Structure 1
Amino acid sequence: MEEAKDYIVSKFGKPKNLFILATVLTIPFLFLVWMSFYDWGFIGLLDEVIGNEFHEERRALLTWGFIFVTRLGDGWFVGLFTILFSLYIWRFRKNTRLAVWYFLTVSVGAGGVNQLVKIFFRRPRPTHVEHLIVQGGYSFPSGHAMGSIITYGALLFLIIRASKSWKPVLAASVTLIPLIGLIGISRVYLGVHYPSDIIGGYSLGLAILSLSIGLYSASLRNKGYKKGER
């Protein structure tokens, strides 16, 4: 496990590789952007077909579960979590640089960038299905999908780099990765997003996260930080 971890860090921890990865990860988002200029075309049809499959499975208990899950991606929850976790890194881990990185990555990426893109495209939320929660604003890309993958993806990155064994990494992975996926699914199930909104949010969110990790790695190299000081 340690050898695999060292290989991943040595290959994908390099800023250049992370910047290339960020570019590649934007491809699904850019494809959807292109489709948006054609009134979404066949993507819009797929959205309704796939969305209907989720909506037909609506059950009281399932609805309650997805409402709970979707709250873990709400702006207020992500904002509160980001502030508290950043303070934890700064106060208890004694790493101001990393605390600032986490705070800016989430607040700028999941907050600022998402809102700017939404305002630019102004895609209305689904109107062909009942919304099971009240949700304002525009639809593309999903703020919950984008925010969850940046917030919890950055958390997973920090756990990986801080862990000295595979057990915390495994525990974090089997918790955070499914959570990110369920938050995206919940948005479609609850009727407030199209599937393409979720894909676009994940794509752009992963790209921003990769870019941010690359910038952080580059800043460490430029400052000449030793391994133990990171």
Structure 2
Amino acid sequence: MNQTVQKEKPRRGRPPKQVVEAEGPDGTRTNDPERTMADILEVATAEFADKGLAGARIDEIAALTRTSKRMIYYYFESKEGLYVRVLEEAYRRIRRIEADLHLEDLAPEQALRVLVGFTFDYQLGNPDFIRLVMNENMHRGEFLARSSTIQDLNVPVINAVRSVYERGVAAGVFRPDVDPVDLHMSISALCFFNVSNRHTFSLIFKRELDNPAAVAARRESIVEMVVRFVRR
């Protein structure tokens, strides 16, 4: 089942998008902190994903949001504070969409197929998420460790995987010796690699990985691999 997900637009090779604060009928800016923060996070996500923590510049983020460094520091305290919020929002977004899959309404094997297919589609359609995770792994998780919410944000996906898996075991369709966290890791690893390594893999092995037929074949391969791994 091919889930439709909202894709982030890549920023490479095109002029950067500028976002502005809300304006009233007379053209004056209105005080809209939530929108201002959302605009800053949107632009900062692309900047940190593209350039990493060290390469991203608060001046550039301020210019693209037509705000000020002072305002960014007011909302997020520091460059590192903004970076941590970007990471939190990246995880919050995928977990929020996962919650809307309604896996509990599907038979266990179909639910697992939907979850794996969604993970593949989301990561393929949101390369900024992949780059952010790669950047933070280069920092060995140092900044994500500062988050007070990251653990809670990721509890639902483990619960969803566990629920699907345990229903499958109870129905006699899944084998009873798989750890749900390990299963989640395997799903993530297969889908993550498909995005993070596609350029080098394509170059080394002379494979055209971006055409629709190749994408569809790879998606089906990953879904089948996971399902056969847990099938009884």
Fold agreement, TM-score > 0.5: no
Whichever structure has more helix as a proportion of its residues is 1
Structure (1 or 2) with the larger CA radius of gyration: 2
The TM-score, its normalising length taken from structure 2, stands at 0.29
The TM-score, its normalising length taken from structure 1, stands at 0.29
| Greater relative CO, 1 or 2 (CA 8 Å, sep 6+) | 1
